[in-house]
Structure formats: structure tokens, C-alpha cells
Amino acid sequence: MSKRDYYEVLNLDRGAGQAEIKKAYRRIAMKFHPDRNPDDADADAKFKEATEAYEILSDQEKRQAYDQFGHAGVDPQAGGGFGGGSFSDIFGDVFGDIFGGGGGRSRGGPQRGSDLQYTLDLDLEQAVKGTTVKIKVPRLVSCESCDGSGAKPGSSPSNCGTCGGVGQVRMQQGFFSVQQTCPNCRGRGQVISDPCRECGGQGRVEERKSLSVKVPAGVDTGDRIRLSGEGEAGPSGGPSGDLYVQISVRDHQLFERDGKHLYCEVPISFVDAALGGELEVPTLDGRVKLKIPAETQTGKLFRLRGKGVVPVRGGSAGDLMCRVVVETPVNLNRRQKDLLEELRGMMDERGSKHSPRKDSWFEGVKKFFDDMTG
């Protein structure tokens, strides 16, 4: 029977990264693991199929061979590749971090748990000034009943008789000495004859843990906070992985952040733009006065030094850049319209210099058409 596409097995796009591949495999392996599905031949077949797909796609060289030649590129019977989960020692670390451990060396004994990632959404004010946030993280923790061993209290796992506790067995294939995951203990190095009832022999149970995350001032979207030992507990009583809190700053209704600088738009009336004036503008520290000089044009930037963000890695505070937007008046009454009509007539008089940009633009347009017709 022909094999399914490895990307289809793990439900992945062909451009998936290593982190996505690992996550997809772990999800399927946890669901169809034989310890969780005893006497279920279909689950066992899906577990083996996913493991085979992971062993190929998690290795860059084998993945390239598979992407180019398909299953033939990783099938030793086809004259090339390394398929089937059995690879020679001369190719080094062959199995990768399938169960959160350290590669293709001996898998016997405790292994480090997987790292976790949690996305923390913050308001701009929280990110700039720093805060402490409580979060709840779902994760696998060591089973208290069996102390993470997976064996029923009062008993303990025993060394696998097939591999002698190392998690791998060696086979001779021609001139090569080949090692593969022990089929009896599936790389653990130990077997459990009487599993713990609380965790079903897994040694770990799922829980939601509450944690307090101290967010330093100045963080921005993409920054990460590492909480050591707050990831998943390792199998067989191994040490826990780490939790990485990924920062995501929400859009703000007034300010836009660019590194350590902040930007905001300040609408002003065309009267204030023409005659000048003073108005209040917001900052993250409160309101400040901004003086608008006469004849200010729309788009003009005013810099308020030190009113930006102090970077999380240190350094001077950024600035707040206020971009002026001249607003056209609306809902005018008859008197106001008459005054504006009078003003327009006065400004349109020959020789007036009230609109230099407008006059320059029209001169450019005239020259453009003159050149076309000339």
C-alpha cells in the first residue's frame, strides 16, 4: 500500500518551519500514543505513521531529499535516503528532538520537557511603563501520585529487556552499524508493567497554572520574557522546559509607536494654522502645551523631546512627534460663509502672496501643458 504524504500526515503546509513540525507531531503523538490507546491497532498505526513523518521532516537533509524525490528519496530500498527510522551512526544525530530530549543519543532516563509559548496582549501604556500581569497557562506537569514515574505508587518502572535501558537497539545492515528506537519501550529505556491510575502511565497530567509575569518598562511587540522551568514537565520525571511569554502590544487610539518614538496627529483649525495659537496635546505622562506658530501648514511635525519611550534595554527616552492636520470647517452659518467669501475675494486679488504652494503648483501645471503643446 502506498504511503501518505508526510506533510498530509502531520497536517502541515510544505513551507512549515521546524517549530510547527514539532508542534504538529507532538499533538498527534499525544493523541494516538499506544499508552493512551491500548489494544487500538488503528491508533498504533497512526502513531507510527506520524513518527515516521516527523523523523524525515525534522531533519533538514532528509526533508530536502523527500521534497525533491518523494518517498523514493528517503527509502533505502530505492537506492537513496535514510527512511524507515533506521539511520547509520556516521550521520550523527539522527532522530532529532522528538520527545523534548536531546537528539539521537541514548534516550534512556529522564528527558527535559518541552518549552511553551504564551502570547501576552498589552495596552501601550502597560508596555511603556511596565506592569505585572497574571496569566493562566495550560501545560503538562509531573504527576503527584507517581512522582512522574508513570508507575503505580509502590511500584517502579523497570529497565527494558530489549534495549537494556538505553532506548535504542543496534542492527547490522551490510557494512553499516544501524541503530533505531527500541520497538518495545519506544525509546524510553524503561517499561511500566503496572501504570499509575492518575496519569495512565504517562507520568504527567495536564493542568492550568496561574503565574505572575513581571513586564519590564519599554517592551514592544516581538519581545519575549523567559520564565525558566515553567514549561512542560519532562517525561519519566525529567526537568521542566521553559515558558516564553511573547509580547503583543495593542493598537492605541491616539499614539503610534516606532521604536522609542511616538507619533500622534493633532487636528487644528485653519484659523489657528494661519494666525498661530496654543493648544493642549496628550502625552503618556499627561497634557502639555504646544505652541502653533502662524502660517503653519498641514503635515508639519512638532517634536516634544523626552515624551516618547525609554527602551527596555536602556538608553535615553524617545520623543513624541505631533503631526499637525489642518481641519476644514463644517456646518457654517450664513454669516460665516459670507466672511469666507469676502476673504477668498481678497486673497484672489492679483499680486497676492497668500498661497505660495498653490501658486507654485499652478505654475508647474502651466509649464507642463506648454511643453506638451510646444
Is residue 249 within 8 A of residue 257, CB to CB? The reply is yes
**pLDDT at residue 1, as a whole number:** 53
**pLDDT at residue 213, as a whole number:** 93
**pLDDT at residue 135, as a whole number:** 93
Distance CA(325)–CA(269), nearest Å, equals 9
| 185, HSE (Cβ side, Cα atoms, 13 Å) | 25
Domains of the chain: which residue ranges?
1-84, 115-153+195-250, 256-367
256-367: CATH, from 3.40.50.920, 2.60.260.20, 3.40.630.30, 3.90.1150.10: 2.60.260.20
**pLDDT at residue 321, as a whole number:** 95
**pLDDT at residue 175, as a whole number:** 54
**pLDDT at residue 86, as a whole number:** 33
pLDDT in tens, the chain (374 residues): 567 889 899 999 888 888 888 888 888 888 887 767 777 888 888 888 888 888 889 888 888 888 877 777 776 544 444 333 333 332 233 233 333 333 333 444 567 888 899 999 999 999 999 999 999 988 888 888 888 888 888 888 888 888 877 778 877 655 556 777 888 887 777 888 888 888 888 888 888 889 999 999 999 998 999 999 898 888 767 788 899 999 999 999 999 999 999 999 999 998 899 999 998 999 998 999 999 999 999 999 999 999 999 998 888 999 999 999 999 888 999 999 999 898 888 877 755 677 767 667 777 777 777 777 76
1-84: CATH, from 2.60.120.890, 1.10.287.110, 1.10.40.30, 1.10.3080.10: 1.10.287.110
**End-to-end Cα separation, the chain, in angstroms:** 79
Examine domains 115-153+195-250 and 256-367 and report if their fold is the same. yes
**pLDDT at residue 317, as a whole number:** 93
CA 334 to chain centroid, in Å, comes to 58
**pLDDT at residue 17, as a whole number:** 87
**pLDDT at residue 246, as a whole number:** 92
| 96, HSE (Cβ side, Cα atoms, 13 Å) | 21
What superfamily would CATH give domain 115-153+195-250? Urease metallochaperone UreE, N-terminal domain (2.60.260.20)
Is residue 190 within 8 A of residue 159, CB to CB? The reply is yes
**pLDDT at residue 248, as a whole number:** 93
Is residue 269 within 8 A of residue 260, CB to CB? The reply is no
